[in-house]
């Protein structure tokens, strides 16, 4: 495993991180707890030290599973967690008030069976709460030792700039993949300039970049691929299929191509990849053992769907 020295910190994070939305059992068709625990153990054994979760993932289920999995392994793990999304199913509200943050972290610490979180992130912006209140609350948690570093997720440049007025922002976690490249024209250049570490989620665009779908899948109404991604039906699906045909010429696993491409992008610190089981973790980690050629990167750029 390769590691990245997190700027403005005293820690190094693995270039591949374990994303655990699927552990929550909602939005992704469910998962077995035993498989999830084995996935965490496999990740740690393979050198992954960054594990990302959130209380909204299955109303605390993901955190609870991780808490069980990392017992006696806490020192090997950099825990990235989030706050600010409350509710279940489709009834989700944004709440980054100080009161809510102080309540949320206590529940997270209990479920994770730890007394501190390494990177604590605002999950999504809350337009109804002043950023000063949010960042001041996070700074207080840092002062108390309950969190080590402050991060934000899904923030644009304007919000990043404002947030930095009230607290030191160590990480930005935003959506980034071969298919979704908006970050390249805004947040990524900003973070390079201001020494903010970028964590990328959604590298496989919900799994479609793994090549597992030969035709548009039939998804349950609550499945995240219905509302979070735009490539699972109609013309977009056909466009992705043609792109994957080009990528297959590289003679590498498609999931690894997608991950490897992100690792090659300037400013990217770590790529968060979800996994249902240990075998998927192993397959994803293999992406760090080789490098795309300049010509392959050029081909991807020429055929990108944005």
Of 38, 39, 44, give the one whose Cα is nearest residue 1.
44
Close Cβ partners of 26 (under 8 Å, ≥ 6 residues apart): 57, 58, 89, 222
In three-state secondary structure terms, 142 is helix
Numbers of helices and strands, H then E, in the chain: 11, 12
* C-alpha to C-alpha distances, 107 to 33, 67, 102, nearest whole angstrom: 20, 12, 9
- Two tokens, residue 210: 């793994």
Q: Which of 3, 57, 231, 232 is catalytic?
A: 57
Does 176 qualify as catalytic in the annotation? no
- Two tokens, residue 103: 């309540």
What stretch of H or E contains 9? none
Q: Which residue has the tokens 């206590």?
A: 106
| Alpha carbon distance 247, 300 (integer Å) | 8
Q: Which residue has the tokens 């068709």?
A: 29
Q: Which residue has the tokens 């030290």?
A: 49
What stretch of H or E contains 149? strand 147-153
* C-alpha to C-alpha distances, 297 to 83, 257, 263, nearest whole angstrom: 36, 10, 12
What residues are annotated to the active site? 57
């Amino acid at each position: 495993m390769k590691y990245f020295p997190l700027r403005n910190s005293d820690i190094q994070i693995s270039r591949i991180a374990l994303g655990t939305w699927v552990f929550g059992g909602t939005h992704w068709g469910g998962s077995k707890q035993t498989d999830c625990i084995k996935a965490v153990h496999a990740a740690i054994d393979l050198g992954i030290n960054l594990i990302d979760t959130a209380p909204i993932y299955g109303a605390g289920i993901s955190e609870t599973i991780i808490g069980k999995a990392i017992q006696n392994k806490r020192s090997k793990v950099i825990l990235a967690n989030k706050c600010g999304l409350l509710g279940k199913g489709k009834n989700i509200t944004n709440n980054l008030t100080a009161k809510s943050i102080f309540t949320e972290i206590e529940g997270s610490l209990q479920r994770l069976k730890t007394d501190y979180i390494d990177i604590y992130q605002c999950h999504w912006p809350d337009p109804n709460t002043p950023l000063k209140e949010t960042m001041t609350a996070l700074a207080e948690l840092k002062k108390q030792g309950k969190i080590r570093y402050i991060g934000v997720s899904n923030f644009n440049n304007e919000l990043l700039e404002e947030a930095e007025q009230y607290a030191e922002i160590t990480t930005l976690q935003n959506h980034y993949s071969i298919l979704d490249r908006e970050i390249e024209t805004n947040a990524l250049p900003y973070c390079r300039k201001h020494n903010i570490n970028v964590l990328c989620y959604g590298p496989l665009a919900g799994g479609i970049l793994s090549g597992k779908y030969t035709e548009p899948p039939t998804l349950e109404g609550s499945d995240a691929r219905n509302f979070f991604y735009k490539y699972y039906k109609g013309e977009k699906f056909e466009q992705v299929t043609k792109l994957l045909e080009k990528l297959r010429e590289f003679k590498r696993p498609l999931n690894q191509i997608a991950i490897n491409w992100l690792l090659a992008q300037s400013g990217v610190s770590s790529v968060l990849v979800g996994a249902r089981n240990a075998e998927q973790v192993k397959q994803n980690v293999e992406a760090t053992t080789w490098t795309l050629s300049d010509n392959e990167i050029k081909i991807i750029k020429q055929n990108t769907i944005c």
